[in-house]
Amino acid sequence: MRVLVVGGGGREHALCWKLRQSPRLGALYCAPGNAGIAGVAECVPVAADDLAKLLRFAKEQAIDLTVVGPELPLTMGLVDRFAAAGLRAFGPTAAAARLEGSKAFAKELLRHAHVPTAFFGVFADPDDATRYVNEVGAPVVVKADGLAGGKGVFICRTVAEADEAIDELMRRRLFGDAGSRVVVEEFLEGDEVSFMALSDGTTVVPLAPSQDHKRVLDGDQGANTGGMGAYSPTPIVTPALESEIMQQVIEPIVQALAKQGTPYTGVLYAGLMVHDGRPKVLEFNVRFGDPEAEVLLSRLRSDLLDLLARTCEGRLAGETLEWDPRAAVCIVLAAEGYPGAVERGRPIDGLERLAGWANGTVFHAGTRIDDGRLVTDGGRVLGVTALGDTIDAAVTEAYAAVDQIRWPGMHFRRDIGHRALAAERKDGQHGGA
Ligand SMILES: Nc1ncnc2c1ncn2[C@@H]1O[C@H](COP(=O)(O)OP(=O)(O)O)[C@@H](O)[C@H]1O
Ligand SMILES: [Mg+2]
């Protein structure tokens, strides 16, 4: 099969790396890709949201399957446009991608399908939103309805903070039209978990559970980021909780979308808050998480190309996935200033020392070749991903690899996996695995 991957981050490097292992793979292209992806796929200089150029390329190159990494081309209707041209693409249609593209749509569907989630209101008028906040009190969460690059959610400790958030989103339009409506919802406490499943429209197959670290600093402090690290599996998601999530969250949502004539095809990502062993949905994403994809694809033993093709063809029934029993941990190495503005073009040293690394892979998130040298080219630069018999062993292996790499201004968290490690060690004391 001739395959095109759309995107150019760590997730797309992991997708290309895993697709490359498939015996069914013919040619592999990635648009736009990055310096690491160039080692496993042919990079094509087309932006991930340039649907017209992507479609032309796929036609010209007779691409059999296009795999879409990021959310933007999905919400813009890449899959619909490819389907109209007779081309197959992995991911939801624009109508189904509203699950991520509109938080109001997602919340209303959750309510309609009786899926547990924080109680909420949706508002198009800032005065109504303010009145609601005064009624329910703080703490409260204010969210832009539309895509805001992971910056449209405000956790407000006071009513005044919530008023300020409403003002920024709705009156000052900090994120443009994404703030024409807001969701105001109950603040939930608990442990955050990422749960992903493949859906072919009717059949759903769970992927291994994982957790990520959103905050930039150790101890989950500082600004929110796209993700500073991830690990899988997680002790919080027991087999019992996994089946509860499938039955109470994933299946009802996929059924509801099918029933309203907009079936969901692709990977469905539920961001969950688990409290007292009960899951509640924080949000949906309509693609693989990043850096969750790096740890999941490192653990996946099944043929990814086969799985993605079956998903597109509505042939997931009877499918079960094979996983490496080892744990995987990904440490994100970020550029100075991230998650704010960053300077690009800093030369990266030390990767050559990891060339024959047996227990892990360095996925590139933001790199390019400049004058024959590997340099930084984004906020998140590398995702150092290691396998180990326990989370503890994987963490040790990953940080040993991180120690080999440096560039001016590089920063990363030193406590990735800390919650799982605490659980693992407690378990160990009780004589468990
Ligand atoms: N109702 C809530 N209660 C507590 N924390 C929340 C709530 N909703 C969101 N959060 C926190 O804010 C983060 C971002 O919110 P999310 O809904 O995932 O939006 P996005 O990823 O689009 O920015 C979550 O990962 C979570 O840590
Ligand atoms: Mg999120």
Q: What are the two backbone dihedrals, phi and then psi, of residue 25, each rounded to the nearest 5 degrees? A: -75, 130
Kindly state if the Cβ of 188 falls inside 6 Å of ligand 1: yes
- What residue ranges of the chain are covered by domains with CATH 3.30.1490.20? 119-186
% residues pLDDT > 90 (the chain): 95
What average pLDDT does range 396-409 have in this prediction?
98
Per-residue pLDDT tens over the stretch 135-168: 999 999 999 999 998 889 999 999 999 999 999 9
**Mean residue pLDDT across the chain:** 96
Scan for tokens 């109209």, then name that residue: 84
Give the pLDDT band (50/70/90) at residue 429.
Answer: low
pLDDT given at position 432:
38
What average pLDDT does range 377-402 have in this prediction?
98
Per-residue pLDDT tens over the stretch 86-111: 999 999 999 999 999 999 999 999 99
- What's the 3-state SS for 304-327? HHHHHHHHHCCCCCCCCCCECCCE
Q: What type of residue sits at position 300?
A: L
Kindly state if the Cβ of 187 falls inside 6 Å of ligand 1: yes
- What residue ranges of the chain are covered by domains with CATH 3.40.50.20? 3-93
Per-residue pLDDT tens over the stretch 258-294: 999 999 999 999 999 999 999 999 999 999 999 999 9
CA distances from 214 to 194, 221, 237, 331, 394 (A): 12, 9, 19, 12, 20
Give the pLDDT band (50/70/90) at residue 423.
Answer: confident
Kindly state if the Cβ of 99 falls inside 6 Å of ligand 1: no
- Residue 30 contacts residue 8 (beta carbons within 8 Å): yes
CA distances from 89 to 9, 185, 252, 310, 312 (A): 19, 34, 24, 12, 7
pLDDT given at position 27:
98
Taking the centre of ligand 1 as the mean of its atom positions, its distance from the CA of residue 27, in whole angstroms, is: 39
> Residue 42 pLDDT > 50, yes or no?
yes
Contacts of 106 (CB under 8 A, 6+ apart): 98, 99, 100, 281, 283, 284
Alpha helices in 167-315 (DSSP H): 239-245, 251-259, 292-299, 304-312
To the question of domain 119-186 being in CATH 3.30.420.40, the answer is: no
pLDDT given at position 424:
83
Question: Among 102, 169, 282, 292, which is best to mutate for testing ligand 1, by the most ligand atoms less than 8 A from CB?
Answer: 282
Kindly state if the Cβ of 347 falls inside 6 Å of ligand 1: no
What average pLDDT does range 249-255 have in this prediction?
98
pLDDT given at position 433:
38
Closest residue by Cα to residue 32 from 49, 2, 7, 55: 7
- Residue 136 contacts residue 186 (beta carbons within 8 Å): yes
Per-residue pLDDT tens over the stretch 192-246: 999 999 999 999 999 999 999 999 999 999 998 999 999 999 999 999 999 999 9
Give the CA angle between residues 286, 291, 292 to the nearest 5°: 65
Ligand with the closest atom to the CA of 157: 1
What average pLDDT does range 312-331 have in this prediction?
97
Dihedral over Cα of 78, 94, 225, 172: its sign: positive
Q: Could you list the beta-strand ranges (E) of 152-305.
A: 153-156, 182-186, 191-200, 204-206, 211-212, 215-217, 221-224, 229-232, 265-275, 278-285
Atom 12 (ligand 1) nearest CA: 153
To the question of domain 3-93 being in CATH 3.40.50.20, the answer is: yes
Kindly state if the Cβ of 71 falls inside 6 Å of ligand 1: no
52: number of Cβ within 10 Å: 9
Listing from the earlier edge strand, what are the strands of the sheet with 265-275?
204-206, 191-200, 265-275, 278-285
3-state SS class at 85:
coil
pLDDT given at position 248:
98
Kindly state if the Cβ of 106 falls inside 6 Å of ligand 1: no
Give the burial class of 60: count Cβ atoms within 10 A of its Cβ; 0-12 exposed, 13-18 middle, 19 or more buried. exposed
- Our CA dihedral for 11, 12, 14, 18, rounded to 10 degrees, sits at 140
Taking the centre of ligand 2 as the mean of its atom positions, its distance from the CA of residue 206, in whole angstroms, is: 19
Kindly state if the Cβ of 190 falls inside 6 Å of ligand 1: no
Kindly state if the Cβ of 241 falls inside 6 Å of ligand 1: no
Taking the centre of ligand 2 as the mean of its atom positions, its distance from the CA of residue 23, in whole angstroms, is: 34
pLDDT given at position 263:
98
What average pLDDT does range 349-355 have in this prediction?
96
**Whole-number Å distance between alpha carbons of 94 and 100:** 10
Kindly state if the Cβ of 153 falls inside 6 Å of ligand 1: yes
Taking the centre of ligand 2 as the mean of its atom positions, its distance from the CA of residue 270, in whole angstroms, is: 9
What average pLDDT does range 1-21 have in this prediction?
98
- Residue 331 contacts residue 414 (beta carbons within 8 Å): no
Q: What are the two backbone dihedrals, phi and then psi, of residue 275, each rounded to the nearest 5 degrees? A: -130, 130
**Whole-number Å distance between alpha carbons of 35 and 33:** 7
pLDDT given at position 425:
83
Taking the centre of ligand 2 as the mean of its atom positions, its distance from the CA of residue 281, in whole angstroms, is: 10
> Residue 416 pLDDT > 60, yes or no?
yes
Taking the centre of ligand 2 as the mean of its atom positions, its distance from the CA of residue 224, in whole angstroms, is: 10
Taking the centre of ligand 2 as the mean of its atom positions, its distance from the CA of residue 230, in whole angstroms, is: 14
What average pLDDT does range 388-408 have in this prediction?
97
The two beta strands, 265-275 and 278-285, are antiparallel
Kindly state if the Cβ of 192 falls inside 6 Å of ligand 1: yes
Question: Among 283, 286, 287, 288, which is best to mutate for testing ligand 1, by the most ligand atoms less than 8 A from CB?
Answer: 283
Ligand 1 atom, smallest distance to 118 CA? 1
Give the pLDDT band (50/70/90) at residue 431.
Answer: very low
Give the pLDDT band (50/70/90) at residue 427.
Answer: confident
Atom 9 (ligand 1) nearest CA: 282
Taking the centre of ligand 2 as the mean of its atom positions, its distance from the CA of residue 268, in whole angstroms, is: 13
Atom 1 (ligand 1) nearest CA: 187
* CATH superfamily to which 191-427 belongs: ATP-grasp fold, B domain (3.30.470.20)
**Whole-number Å distance between alpha carbons of 102 and 99:** 6
> Residue 181 pLDDT > 50, yes or no?
yes
